Amino acid sequence: MKQLKEDIDEFPFPFKSNDPYRFSNNSIPLNPPISIDVTSKYIEEIKLKRDLLKTVHNRCYQSTPDTYEAQWEVLNLVMHHLSDMYPDRFKLKKEKDHWSFTNLITNETESFIYRDNSSLTLEPLDVIGRHVQEDLLILMEKDNELYLEAGQLCFPGRWSLVFKLGMTFLEIHQPIPEFNDTGLGDKIRRFLLNLEAGNPFERLNWALTIGYHLDTSIETFHKWGHKQKEVTPENVGSLVHLRVERQKLFRLPKSNSILFNIHTYLLSFEDLVQNPEWRSTFYDIFTNLPDYILKYKGAYAYKDTLIEYLKKFQQHA
Amino acid sequence: MLDMDHATNKNFTFVTGRRKYLLFTDITGYGEITPILSSLDEQNLLYMVYYFNEFSSNHDLKTYLSQQKMGTYIYASGNWNSIISFVKTAEKAGFTEEELQIKGIGERILRVFCSRCYAINVCKTSKEMVCQSCGQSLSVSNHYSRRYDAYLGYTILN
């Protein structure tokens, strides 16, 4: 899919320098401290999200009973951020506990009584998640440990919300090579436990994927996984995409839980190489990645083809 | 959960220099710990031997393990069900892969969660299997869910 200039302008290129890439805690303070980004792909992605929620709701939405307080906090936070940051597109009216949230893009209004579960037809997280491009996950803190207890996840990067529900932070990340063995996992876990309300953080995570597909769930790997084998020198630029997740972390003060949201961006390499700085930085980093990272990032199968493709542009630079 | 493959030694290796040694076993696994017992006796080191069924519950076992001081090292051998249950409890009590060795006897039965259809399959020790519910070929990972008491089976492409 050839992307528009505004899509490329919005793309959060994840590398600041061409230093060798390794797994790390690359979180930085979120400025401005806003949980949601509305991009030019809003309508397209909201439609995709809602189609998935309609057809495979169980795969895309999970929660445990103890999360309602946290879910209402997420709804509160996101509705305020949307109406404050994008007042021409979202309106929030409140009369005591009677709230009315209007999405002027989709021409929908959600009216409900705040913190009254019976006033909504869906769970609060499932309601507000349908108005944002982000996937929304809730980590509950219990006994100095963080557990994934609720989530609306439509665009996963090769993981399953159904399988990971209820896991601790370290259990969730067990598949990442050297994450737990090196102490990095515990370091990030302690960072999250110290996260304070009012001081949100963000980080950029990246992987490679085939085609312009936001939904790369492991449940459907049998449908899309084989495309890795279809990469050729002729199609590598249009087929292979850099997938970047802008992840944001907010402490929710009442429930003492953490909102972890993920906004996923995709950019094909034929578009990426148009930016000489991005192209050069990515080339330097990619050619120095060890195999275990290439495998985890989904790039091992077509590594050489992509390097040859990038090299052509490097030589012409 | 602790990585069973990582923590499983074909034969126990005697580790020296620990404050205290705990040995857990059953009738099937006793033969595996006897070389370790001999080494401990020879070097006059502090140790205790327990049968798994001496603890009336996992809670009692966890309480006992939690009371152990730093420098305690564990050897455990027995049938796989006992070993898996023991390792989960030891982990909850704070023991890591570096502080224990295990040896399972007989067939190891795994529960495997199908990433395609969510069915829980029961299989013997294996790297690959076919989901009995949807027919998908799966690669058995060591990604474990306590909620399902199962390991994740990733789709293998044909």
Q: What is the pLDDT of residue A28?
A: 93
Using CA atoms, how far residue A150 sits from A59, A63, A70, B132, in Å, is 12, 4, 9, 29
Contact (Cβ atoms closer than 8 angstroms) between residue A224 and residue A210? yes
Band of pLDDT at residue A22, cut at 50, 70 and 90: confident
Q: Are strands A90-95 and A98-103 parallel, antiparallel or unpaired?
A: antiparallel
B137 part of contact set with chain A, CB < 8 Å: no
pLDDT at A297: 85
Q: Are A171 and B146 within 8 A, CB to CB? A: yes
Q: Are B16 and B39 in contact (CB under 8 A)?
A: no
Chain-chain contact of B157 with A165 (C-beta, under 8 angstroms): no
Cα–Cα nearest to B118, from A167, A65, A149, A165: A165
The fold of the B4-105 domain, in CATH, is Rossmann fold (3.40.50)
Chain A to chain B Cβ contacts (< 8 Å): 43
| Chain A interface, best mutation among B96, B152, B156, B158, by max A CB count within 10 A | B152
Mean pLDDT, rounded, of chain A = 93
Instruction: Please state, as a whole number, how many other Cβ atoms lie within 10 Å of the Cβ of residue A119.
Output: 15
Most confident of A23-32, A42-51, B79-88, B94-103: A42-51
CA–CA separation, B60 and B69 (whole Å): 17
A284 touching B, CB under 8 A? no
Report pLDDT for B6.
52
CB contact under 8 A, B157 and A226: yes
CA A196 to chain centre: 21
Count the Cβ atoms, other than its own, within 10 Å of residue A143: 5
pLDDT at B1: 53
Find the catalytic residue in A89, A115, A203, A279. A203
Residue B112 CB coordination number (10 Å): 23
Chain B residues in contact with A218 (beta carbon < 8 A): 115, 154-155
- The tokens for A36 are 């949601």
| Residues A150 and A137: beta-carbon distance below 8 Å | yes
Chain B positions in Cβ-Cβ contact with residue A225 (cut-off 8 Å): 155, 157
Please indicate whether, in this complex, the C-beta atoms of A219 and B116 are within 8 angstroms of each other.
Answer: yes
pLDDT band (50, 70, 90) for residue A4: low
* Rounded percentage of chain B residues whose pLDDT exceeds 70: 92
A190 carries an active-site annotation = no
* Cβ-nearest to A222 among B116, B118, B152: B116
B155/A162 CB distance under 8 A: no
Query: Please, what is the angle between helix B80-92 and helix B58-66, to 10°?
Result: 50
Is the minimum CB–CB distance between A205 and chain B shorter than 8 Å? no
Q: What confidence score (pLDDT) does residue B67 get?
A: 93
Contact A268, A240 (CB under 8 A): yes
What secondary structure letter does DSSP report for A54?
A: H
Q: Indicate the number of domains in chain A.
A: 1
Least confident of A109-123, A129-143, B73-87: B73-87
The full set of domain ranges for chain B reads 4-105, 109-155
pLDDT band at A5, cuts 50/70/90?
confident
- The domain containing residue A256 runs over which residues? 5-316
Please give the average per-residue pLDDT across B29-40, as a whole number: 94
Q: What is the Cα–Cα distance from A76 to A114, expressed in whole angstroms?
A: 9
Q: Which two tokens stand for residue B146?
A: 């306590």
**Best to test chain B binding among A64, A160, A180 (most B CBs inside 10 Å):** A160
Asked if the Cβ–Cβ distance from A174 to B144 is below 8 Å, we say: yes
In this prediction, residue A148 carries a pLDDT of: 97
